[in-house]
A and B are shown apart, each in its own frame.
Chain A
Amino acid sequence: MAAALQAASAGISVALLDEGSQLGGHFYKSSLSNIALPLSSTQRLKQIEFQSLLEAIQKSDIKIYQGARVWGIFDREGKTLTLNGDSSPQNQIFRIGFEPIIDSQGWIETRSIIIATGVFDRPIPFPGWEMPGVVTPGAVQIQLEKQALIPGQRVIIAGSGPLQLVVAAELIRCGVEVVAVLDTSALFDAWQRMFAAMGGLKTRFSEGFHALLTIMRKGVPILFRHAVFKALGSNERGVQGVVYGRIDQMGNPVYQTAREAQVDVICCAYGFSPSISLTLHMGCRHVFDPLIGAWKPFYDEKLQTSVAGVFVAGDVTTVGGKPLAQLQGRWAAISALQRLGAWSEEQVRRERSKIISAIRREEKFAQWLWQRYRVLPGLFQIAEEETLVCRCEAVRVADVRLALEDGSYDLFGIKLRTRLGMGQCQGRYCFSNAAMLISLYSGRNASEIDLPTIRPPIVPVRLGYLATCRQFLTHNEEV
């Protein structure tokens, strides 16, 4: 939204493709609910902020497409873009295909694209993680805030990331028994870095401290360097309990410390994964970020990807929260305006000095956060032979290991042998986990493992809709 506003202010034509049924994304989701509890003071602030943003958008000439699920981006002829970062010409026109809700035409043409696809909670497989009752913190937050639904009676919260404490506090306020909050980082680590990054970030910590207070007042233990080892129960009956215990500095489970607890919900995720399906299918270069243990799109100082004219902004680049996302949105828009010739170099230079320093400050905070919550390689030892890596295609750890022994070298080989990543989620949830497993078994660095290619449609679309796309795809594209 920030990027669209910035771009529209220069008088160029802007379209905003939003997958949701309402604008606002995940940050403002709580203020959009139609079944909701009375808003807290922070939520009310968020809502006021969002309203003014919304008004600005409505006043502008931005064309908004709501519920638009982008399934592919091509060149003007509907052909796949040149792979691996061949710089596109200045006058490159992109054709974006999306499944519309009401409009019959499902594509638009643009000269520049800003991709802000965000992130999703990142699971790391543990035995039983495919059972009903194992959910992500994001899911619990949506259930509570947007659906006013209490997901269970006894909940354990685990993993790493800033959401965990907030979700725990929300559950406690709703009267749910939170058995424990497990955190992969060390207590010492936490405080040491916190002070280093404190400067100018008081508001952010006040929310965290508030959550912490709620948790401590209730006497819920927060266990550092702990992780979930196993879900107890069955696919049929769902989660009945949990085995958890200490992990060492590298994340390796210390099984002698294992404890059992009775729970009906295991709320667990290890940070976030960037949504890279779009940039991946477009042939943008990606880099493996060892802190988050996943790939993200490569981008330069202008937030431009390796495909010229395509920019990224927001959490998909670095999870740094709303302030960073909005700054990046504006900066990406300015870079796009420059490319389109709508802004002079002088104009860009003037804005640059203001924006870049603010971006760097926010990035510093993000870096502190992800140092603390970095994905520990030992956590991948928790998965057993029978544990699923890819739930959509029911591929077990043993299958991945076997494929490696059979000569598979990278994700592409494993995909061909096991169908990993070929199911409903199209590898969103398993590629990075499989890469970490390959790294664990082969001793190779995860950054040396290539991502497989993915093909459009990158999200499932109705066949009936695709049938209307014949005009769109003048080239014989694999759809």
Chain B
Amino acid sequence: MIAIRIAQARADKEPFEIEVDGKKVPAYAGETVSTALQAAGIQIFFRQENSYPPSKLFCGMGTCRQCLIMIDDQISCLACQTLVYPGMKVRTSP
């Protein structure tokens, strides 16, 4: 699955960087963490050590809690509801 940003909607915006597992990933103000990750080709937001299904986007509105991710060392953040900010540090495994 390759998600693509519609450039037209971001014509007046400058991208900034967030950090995902130590790698720089571009993001735009107003995007959710889920959008920034998917646009970077990351569809698994968090891998669990157990046999539970991986974290990913499902409902997109914060009810299903399938998109939990670690943001700035805080666990159980919702990727679909949290907006990106410059310097945000995201981790996709414990």
Contacts and interface: CB of A to CB of B under 8 A. Distances in A.
A424 B68 contact: yes
A279 interface: no
B58 interface: yes
Interface stretch (A136-144, A247-255, A297-305, A331-339): A136-144
A152 B59 contact: no
A275 B59 CA distance: 14
B59 A149 contact: no
B93 interface: no
A391 interface: yes
Given A132-B44, A133-B43, A136-B60, A35 B28 contact: yes
A76 to B, nearest CB: 30
Contacts of B28: 35
B8, B13, B28, B60 interface centre (most CB from chain A within 10 Å): B60
A19 to B, nearest CB: 8
Interface stretch (A186-194, A217-225, A233-241, A313-321): A233-241
A327 B43 CA distance: 41
Nearest to B32: A147
B1, B6, B38, B66 interface centre (most CB from chain A within 10 Å): B1
A37 B57 CA distance: 22
Nearest to A26: B61
Contacts of A392: 65-66
A428 B64 contact: yes
Interface in A256-307: 264-265, 275
A433 B64 CA distance: 14
Contacts, number: 122
A357 interface: no
B13 to A, nearest CB: 7
Interface in A428-450: 428-429
Given A35-B13, A238-B1, A135 B58 contact: yes
A236 B44 contact: yes
Contacts of A138: 59-61
Contact of A136 (B10, B56, B58): B58
Contact of A132 (B57, B61, B62): B57
A236 B65 CA distance: 19
A3 B39 CA distance: 39
A353 to B, nearest CB: 37
Interface in A116-144: 120-121, 130-136, 138-143
A466 to B, nearest CB: 15
Q: How many A residues are at the interface, by size bracket? A: 35 or more
Contacts of B53: 130-131, 235, 388, 391, 394
B5 A148 contact: yes
Interface in A99-121: 120-121
A34 interface: yes
Given A265-B1, A391-B53, A37 B8 contact: yes
Judged by DSSP, the binding face of A is loop
A460 B62 CA distance: 11
B86 interface: no
B1 A132 contact: yes
Contact of B10 (A148, A391, A425): A148
B3 interface: yes
Contacts of A120: 59, 61, 63-64
A152 B35 contact: no
Contacts of A174: 6
Nearest to A33: B30
A36 interface: yes
Nearest to A264: B1
A344 interface: no
B82 to A, nearest CB: 11
Contacts of A149: 3-6, 35, 38-39
Interface in B36-87: 38-39, 43-44, 50-54, 56-66, 68, 76, 80
B10 A143 contact: no
A208 interface: no
A149 B10 CA distance: 11
A256 B54 CA distance: 32
A150 interface: yes
A151 interface: yes
A150 B68 CA distance: 21
Contacts of B80: 139, 142
B32 to A, nearest CB: 6
B65 A147 contact: no
A34, A132, A133, A134 interface centre (most CB from chain B within 10 Å): A132
Contact of B63 (A132, A150, A275, A391): A275
B60 A132 contact: no
Given A135-B57, A147-B32, 10 more contacts: A19-B62, A35-B13, A131-B53, A133-B1, A149-B3, A149-B39, A150-B3, A150-B4, A388-B53, A424-B66
23 contacts: A35-B30, A130-B53, A131-B56, A132-B44, A135-B58, A138-B59, A140-B60, A142-B60, A142-B80, A147-B32, A149-B6, A150-B4, A153-B2, A174-B6, A235-B54, A238-B1, A239-B1, A394-B50, A394-B52, A424-B66, A424-B76, A425-B65, A429-B64
Interface of B: 1-6, 8-10, 13, 28-32, 35, 38-39, 43-44, 50-54, 56-66, 68, 76, 80
